Structure 1
């Protein structure tokens, strides 16, 4: 008798777990799509001289990396430690991004404008973005 009660109870518990696994998916959007517009990216905005002066230099990152930033008229080159330079295009004043959007750098942050934030995707197979903060090193 006890074994039949235990079996019935275990079947009941497993049945409630099965409901959680068979929840319906969200409905698909059935609205018609009359057209799709594709816009090519425009030319990167020019980096102003004052902006270039404010962001060029050396940064000690919060994880111990040493970052050097070199500026050009429409992009920056970021060199972390002794790695190859990473080219980031200007997308807005004091904001730069890699061509694939996986690396971004925001400068002119903080109360005195000397802080920067870098974010990047370390592995495209993972849903992870790393965010690092830094302050412009003394010149």
Structure 2
């Protein structure tokens, strides 16, 4: 028996088994402070008007299977993914929101119908990795 005939199926099996076991960590807005010093300007509050709030409020089915519920207020949104703790994201433009530490951002009112959103977040502050998830509105 040739070694390559054994190695190929074994390599494919290991690759397939590791792909199914991967799960993305949930984003953590304003997690515990790390040991680095960051100098940033203060966020200038952006007002969210009633018509904008109606356009972004609701439940979104994220592309990775998570469910995102968005509740807007006058300057921020409370975003809850599945049964995780709600994240408070602040408006940086009429349809773009960011956590205080900048590790989580959400942009709404995208697409032809304005019913799509994109969320990006850094799952681990020690690495320069960014996860981007898109969605369409599931219900309002």
- Per the TM superposition, whether the score is higher than 0.5 is yes
Determine which structure has greater relative contact order: mean sequence separation of CA pairs < 8 Å that are 6+ residues apart, divided by chain length. Answer: 2
CA deviation after TM superposition for structure 1 residue 97, in Å: 0.2
CA deviation vs aligned residue, 1:71-107 (integer Å, no higher than 9, x gap): 1110000000000000000000100000000000000
- Normalising by structure 2, we get a TM-score of 0.69
- Normalising by structure 1, we get a TM-score of 0.70
Asked if 1:76 is matched to 2:73, the reply is no
Q: Which runs of 4+ in 1 moved over 3 A?
A: none
Question: RMSD across aligned C-alpha pairs, in angstroms?
Answer: 1.4
Asked if 1:91 is matched to 2:92, the reply is yes
Q: Tell me, which stretches of 5 or more residues in structure 1 are unaligned?
A: 1-37
CA deviation after TM superposition for structure 1 residue 127, in Å: 1.1
CA deviation after TM superposition for structure 1 residue 42, in Å: 4.4
What is aligned with 2:53? Answer: 52
Q: Tell me, which stretches of 5 or more residues in structure 2 are unaligned?
A: 1-38
CA distance in 1, matches of 2:134, 2:43: 29
How many equivalent pairs are there?
102
Larger Rg: 1
SS at structure 2 position matched to 1:100: coil
